[in-house]
Structure 1
Amino acid sequence: MYLKKIVLVVVFLGLIAGGAFSYMVYSAIFSPNTSFTNEQAFVFVPSDANFEEVANVLQPLLKDIDSFREVAQRKGYMDNVKGGKYALKKGMNNNEIINTLRSNNIPVKVSFNNQETLANLAGRIAVQIEADSLTLLSAFKDRKFLGDKNFAPDNALGMYIPNSYELFWNTSAADFRNRMHKEYTRFWNQDRKAKARTLGLAPAQVITLASIVHKETVKVSERPRVAGVYLNRLRKNMLLQADPTVIYALKLHSKDFDRVIKRVLYKDLELDSPYNTYKYAGLPPGPIAMPDISAVDAVLNPEAHDYLYFVADVQNFGFHKFAKTLAQHNRNKAQYVRWINAQNVNR
């Protein structure tokens, strides 16, 4: 009888211990373990992160980091960390958190436009994905890649079509560059290629000309007319004489792309640079900036006219006055010069 009581007590205590252990396990796995008050918190896990680095990132967001560690070990997450951007929702338990970190890498929107150089582009992208600007710039300038894709260092910027793209935060520099080439190929569909051929231009040349059009006017509605002027000049073997190319040449010569140049002077036109379209015929070696899609399509769909000249319209700011003859252009230009001198714009 005494032995029976002992057995019952032991069984009872075992049940209590087992229940307590089961409760602890259940709590560790299924009890809410977030400490933030917002509906969700984003976690960025570097591609080369180990578990301890992930734990350090998570610690401010969790009530109990030790229970998270226990569950992570049981589920094999400690040796299977994956980089990416993850969204943790308020009230998640450890099981849900680990499942999220395993398989719910969420994409980010990456956007860019108006960059003047590959270095500027690398800096813009580096604040949006994991890759740093130096690694990105190295990938952009990779000569083997450029040669394989029929690009050169001077026109490589033209491969990047400004837009918003969805990709993973932990996309590598090389993968980002490769994705942009796919987008470039998709952009240059049969219709656009056919229009470029009609103009006698390759896609890279269209983008170079579009960059000049983009810089000449911010008015989208005016871009097909400006494009028509430059195409008329190319057909007549005239110098393009585009001020934005001279400004680019000056910046390139001084290695200072932060420099602000509001006025092109006559002495600037003497700069010996393949980008100086007052000295060298045809298109420059590559784009002077990243043209937006409206500028590219303006070149592909130019306005048909006989204009050969244009100058800023001081009576309708943002737009230009167009002329068919040099005499008419000089009258328009004189009006502009009087106005800019009155503004004391010397540079």
Structure 2
Amino acid sequence: MWRHIASNAVTFLSVLLFLVGGVILWGKGQYQAEGPLTQAICLQVERGSNMRKVSRSLAEQGAVSSAAIFRIGSDYQEKTSQLKAGSFLVQPGTSMAEIVDVITKGGASTCGTEVVYRIGINRVSVQVRELDPATNRFVERVEFSPATDEVPELFTQTTSKGDTRFRIAMAEGVTSWQVVEALKGIEVLDGEIAKQPPEGSLAPDSYEVRPGDDRAEVIAQMQEAQELLVSAAWEARDPDLPIETPEDLLILASIVEKETGVPEERRQVASVFVNRLNQGMRLQTDPTVIYGITKGQGILGRGLRRSELRKATPWNTYVIEGLPPTPIANPGRASLMAAAQPDESPFIFFVADGTGGHAFAETLDEHNRNVAKWRVIEAERGAAAAGNASTGGD
């Protein structure tokens, strides 16, 4: 009888182990299989939350087939304690294992609400925007200028949330002074900037920051990024350029940056300046004259006077020979590459053509005709503006 009972016990345990093994394999398959989510969601993980709350939220939103399997899998991988607070984009079909990886790996939010501080040529603006998971595009909720507008309540509410992302977007062509002044006004940053960074040494780009980040460290990050861009452009430069150092390349790129906002024109504009340098001609470019007046501290806000074009400053390329002593702004990657690899062209002149671009010329006579056309366009625009003003703009 005992032999019979023992035999039955062994059989029962074998069946039990087989069933347990099957359940484990099934659970593992469920954990790693494609998830049931059909439309992207933004998963909010609050500070102080835990994997049980997250698993319930995922189950309620249809992102996982079993909250229990999600938790067990996370525990098995020893990732439960690594849960990060933030807002995480979960794409359709994402497996439980992939979701666990997203919410425990780095802690950087990938969706939700974002505050963007935009440092532009003419103004600094603040934008509150939110990622629409369905389209994976940001939707603007409010934008304002801290210098002139009242701070919206939505901005105050958004910045007080723990999962809000913060970003600084620096435009091509802004000056180092403009960047420093803008950083001083970003209230989520801490610390002082002891010294204004050299002109041209900051890379125009988008930088994610966190509340409490040090302003000087943000500047250092921008400088490091620009050093890499300048180094890459210098290594890729044409061998016969009439420039001798990476700093010369940076100066030339900054002039190109300020002369045109049309991407397709950058290499052509650079070719004009390279041709002038090769022929021993003065560069005669207005943005350098303006920099000699403003020193990069804001915009001039008016046209240049004839006396200013004749006045000697270190940056007045109507007076000095060759390049000015420093960059006149912070150029971006495209302008650096345009300066390093300009077009091959016969042009030594260009002037605005009324479309936002420029008319290029090889001879002075052709250039003078282009200038005359531009003067007509200027006069017509002036007359139209005066007419609108006299009628209230109707």
Calculate the TM-score normalised by the size of structure 1: 0.58
The answer to which structure has the higher helix fraction is: 1
CA shift, 1:170, in A, is 3.0
Identity level (%): 29
Aligned to 2:310: 270
* 2:280 maps to 1:224: no
* 2:303 maps to 1:247: no
- Report the residue type matching 1:334 in the other structure: A
Go from structure 1 to structure 2 and tell me whether the alpha carbon gap of 1:249 and 1:191 turns closer, same or farther (over 3 Å shift): closer
Go from structure 1 to structure 2 and tell me whether the alpha carbon gap of 1:339 and 1:301 turns closer, same or farther (over 3 Å shift): same
Aligned to 1:339: 377
Aligned to 2:334: 294
- Report the residue type matching 2:314 in the other structure: P
Aligned to 1:9: none
- Contact preservation (8 Å) 1:105, 1:168: no
- 1:1-347 mapped onto 2 (5 Å cutoff): 39=44, 108-114=166-172, 116-126=174-184, 127=186, 129-131=188-190, 135-136=192-193, 138-141=194-197, 156-190=198-232, 192-195=234-237, 198-199=240-241, 200-252=243-295, 257-261=298-302, 263-314=303-354, 317-344=355-382
> Structure 2 regions of 5+ residues with no counterpart?
1-42, 49-83, 89-105, 110-164, 384-394
**Cα deviation 1:99-148 (Å, max 9, x = unaligned):** xxxx979885433124643221013334275135xx22x2435xxxxxxx
Secondary structure class of the residue paired with 2:237: helix
Go from structure 1 to structure 2 and tell me whether the alpha carbon gap of 1:109 and 1:158 turns closer, same or farther (over 3 Å shift): same
Secondary structure class of the residue paired with 1:157: coil
- Contact preservation (8 Å) 1:196, 1:202: no
Go from structure 1 to structure 2 and tell me whether the alpha carbon gap of 1:209 and 1:201 turns closer, same or farther (over 3 Å shift): same
- State the number of aligned residues: 234
Secondary structure class of the residue paired with 1:284: coil
CA RMSD of aligned residues (A): 3.4
Distance in 1 separating the partners of 2:46 and 2:300: 40
Distance in 1 separating the partners of 2:249 and 2:280: 17
Go from structure 1 to structure 2 and tell me whether the alpha carbon gap of 1:113 and 1:128 turns closer, same or farther (over 3 Å shift): farther
- Contact preservation (8 Å) 1:140, 1:177: no
CA shift, 1:42, in A, is 8.3
- Contact preservation (8 Å) 1:196, 1:203: no
Distance in 2 separating the partners of 1:249 and 1:310: 21
- The structure 1 segments of at least 4 consecutive aligned residues displaced by more than 4 Å after TM superposition are 38-43, 85-89, 103-108
Calculate the TM-score normalised by the size of structure 2: 0.52
User: Relative contact order (C-alpha < 8 Å, sep 6+): which is higher?
Assistant: 1
